[in-house]
Structure 1
Amino acid sequence: MRRLLIMLVVFFGVAACKTNPFTGKSTLNFYPNSQIFPMAFAQYDQFLGENKVIKGTSDAQMITKVGQRISSAAERWLSANGYPGYLKDYKWEYNLVDDKTVNAWCMPGGKIVFYTGILPITQTETGVAVVMGHEVAHALADHGAQRMSAGMLQQLGAVAGNVAIQDPEKRNTFNQAYGVGSTVGLMLPFSRSHETEADRIGLQIMAIAGYNPDEAAELWKRMKANSGGQAPPEFLSTHPSNDTRIANLSQWAPLAKQEAAKYGVSSFQ
């Protein structure tokens, strides 16, 4: 059994290599698009059926407009950099849902939801573009599949430990330590790295779409003010702190403008 678990971990590690076109790095991903996209699409449709989707309003139309501009910019970048068929299985969809939660999210394959509660923070179309760029970036970088893959490895590690440790008391101690250690030491940093990566990719593609990347840091200043300073320590969070994000986005905005200039974009909305 132990040998089988070791073989499975090695197999998954070798089979998991997929290149992120925006970073050039290999990523942890056990799930092909053909497997994960249909599941995501079905879950998305179920969510829409169970919630109040807003259609036809100026806000709803703006969400769709911004999403289309940014996904088109992403496709333009990918085609220009040697990935012309990268988005062939994506089915982009952008919906506004009536919910006071200050949030937006994305599912694999390009299924995106904005809650009405985030609109007072975004304030403008460019503010929406900051959030949309971030969410589109999650889809482009396969972050959903990567999180599932990391979760699978975390579970395999737990199983391996329980198989290897015969003493019940020691096994219980291992399970407690492994649960905390693998979450704080591995899963949370993994999630924060995804958020940082989505911030950087999103900034780049929103600039190519003609939206001012300088607005990103301003949006996160408003997010910080809205939170009232209530947030867990960064090392216990799935997301970087507001201050970290503001500093990063301020630093990256000029680079995003330089990237947009390669595509003839020099003025921004």
Structure 2
Amino acid sequence: MRLALLLLALLALAGCEKTPTGRSQLALVPDTLMAKLGADTFGQLRERQPVAGDASLNRRVQCVAGAVVAAARRHYPGEAMPEAWEVVVFDDPSPNAFALPGGKIGVNAGLLEVAQTPAQLAAVIGHEVGHVLADHGNERLTQQLGIKAVLLVVGLFSEGEVGQESLLQALGIGARLGIALPFSRTHEEEADLMGLEIMAEAGFDPRESVTLWRNMANVGGGQPPEFLSTHPAHESRIEALQGHLEAARRLGRDAAPTPCG
């Protein structure tokens, strides 16, 4: 009985949480555990995936990621953020990137074939940082595990008992490490708009986000109908971004010029 009351109290408290955009969310896993999961997953990636050796490519990604993280901190000053972020470019031809709790960012070298300008790269990294700031991994883990996520909070389950594959999927990483999985459509749309504002705050032209997704559409070829996919269809995604471009451009007018080109 006492446990049931405790779980209900935790659920009630969690129901009061808001994402940076004001959306209510249920995210029950402690931040310290989410950061540990992010660090552990990133460590596995570094062990299994070769790191890109191209110095100029690494400088470009580090510059853009640094500008995006600094802008996210300015734009969302009330949100908890890691003090330091580790950014690694993986020698992988697939056009993917991801960010993990605890301040970890991974970018595949193949993304630079699609994100052809610093601003387009900023759109991707801003989107991924938006997932972390909005605690989407925590929310998805809570949804996937249900009561087990609550029991994680009260210490009645250990991390290992919830299943490694479930943890990876919640963080947006496939069972084969390095494959980025889509979050829910709600999460993707929220991260898109957060990323748009973050890149504008960082001094990048937010219009380049639309160009990026047109590039993605050209590379990705046909997609299944939108109602069959958690990922927004490219055209729907572009339409939503276009609807927020003017506000993002106003936000960027006062931004300092980015040093990343």
TM-score interval, normalised by the smaller of the two chains? 0.7 to 0.9
Name the structure, 1 or 2, with higher relative contact order (CA <8 Å, separation 6+). Answer: 2
TM-score between both structures, scaled by the size of structure 1: 0.76
| Corresponding residue number in structure 1 for 2:18 | 19
Q: Contact (CA 8 Å) 2:183, 2:231: kept in 1 or not?
A: no
| Partner Cα separation in structure 2 for residue 50 and residue 108 of structure 1 | 20
Q: Contact (CA 8 Å) 1:108, 1:145: kept in 2 or not?
A: no
Helix, strand or coil for the counterpart of 2:255? Answer: coil
| Partner Cα separation in structure 2 for residue 190 and residue 134 of structure 1 | 12
Matches within 5 A, 1:144-155: 144-153=137-146
Q: Contact (CA 8 Å) 1:90, 1:109: kept in 2 or not?
A: no
Structure 2: runs of 5 or more not aligned = 150-181
Q: Contact (CA 8 Å) 1:51, 1:97: kept in 2 or not?
A: yes
| Corresponding residue number in structure 1 for 2:76 | 78
Q: 1:4 deviation in Å?
A: 9.7
Structure 1: runs of 5 or more not aligned = 157-188
Post-superposition Cα deviations, 1:181-220, rounded to whole Å, max 9, x if no partner, equal xxxxxxxx97110000000000001001000000111111
| Corresponding residue number in structure 2 for 1:194 | 187
| Partner Cα separation in structure 2 for residue 257 and residue 144 of structure 1 | 29
| Partner Cα separation in structure 2 for residue 126 and residue 237 of structure 1 | 27
Q: Contact (CA 8 Å) 2:128, 2:195: kept in 1 or not?
A: yes
| Partner Cα separation in structure 2 for residue 137 and residue 109 of structure 1 | 13
| Corresponding residue number in structure 1 for 2:197 | 204
Helix, strand or coil for the counterpart of 1:31? Answer: coil
| Corresponding residue number in structure 2 for 1:254 | 246
Helix, strand or coil for the counterpart of 1:106? Answer: strand
| Partner Cα separation in structure 1 for residue 226 and residue 3 of structure 2 | 33
| Partner Cα separation in structure 2 for residue 78 and residue 248 of structure 1 | 21
The 1:113/1:190 distance shift into structure 2, 3 A limit, reads: closer
Q: What is the letter of the counterpart of residue 243 of structure 1?
A: E
Q: 1:5 deviation in Å?
A: 10
Q: Contact (CA 8 Å) 1:257, 1:266: kept in 2 or not?
A: no
| Corresponding residue number in structure 1 for 2:27 | 29
Q: What is the letter of the counterpart of residue 134 of structure 1?
A: H
| Corresponding residue number in structure 2 for 1:50 | 48
| Corresponding residue number in structure 2 for 1:185 | none
Matches within 5 A, 1:1-269: 10-16=8-14, 17-20=16-19, 22-55=20-53, 57-79=55-77, 83=78, 86-87=80-81, 89=82, 91-153=84-146, 191-229=184-222, 231-261=223-253, 264-265=254-255
Which one has the largest radius of gyration? 1
TM-score between both structures, scaled by the size of structure 2: 0.78
Post-superposition Cα deviations, 1:4-62, rounded to whole Å, max 9, x if no partner, equal 99868744531324222x31233210012112101211211121111111245111111
Q: 1:90 deviation in Å?
A: 5.1
| Partner Cα separation in structure 1 for residue 255 and residue 3 of structure 2 | 52
Aligned length: 227
Post-superposition Cα deviations, 1:216-243, rounded to whole Å, max 9, x if no partner, equal 11111111111122x2222222210101
Q: Which moved more, 1:141-150 or 1:103-112?
A: 103-112
| Partner Cα separation in structure 1 for residue 228 and residue 10 of structure 2 | 28
Q: What is the letter of the counterpart of residue 71 of structure 1?
A: V
Post-superposition Cα deviations, 1:42-96, rounded to whole Å, max 9, x if no partner, equal 21112111111124511111111111101101111223xxx1x722x45412211
| Corresponding residue number in structure 2 for 1:174 | none
| Partner Cα separation in structure 2 for residue 45 and residue 266 of structure 1 | 34
Q: What is the letter of the counterpart of residue 217 of structure 2?
A: K
Percent identical: 35
Structure with a larger share of its residues in helix = 1
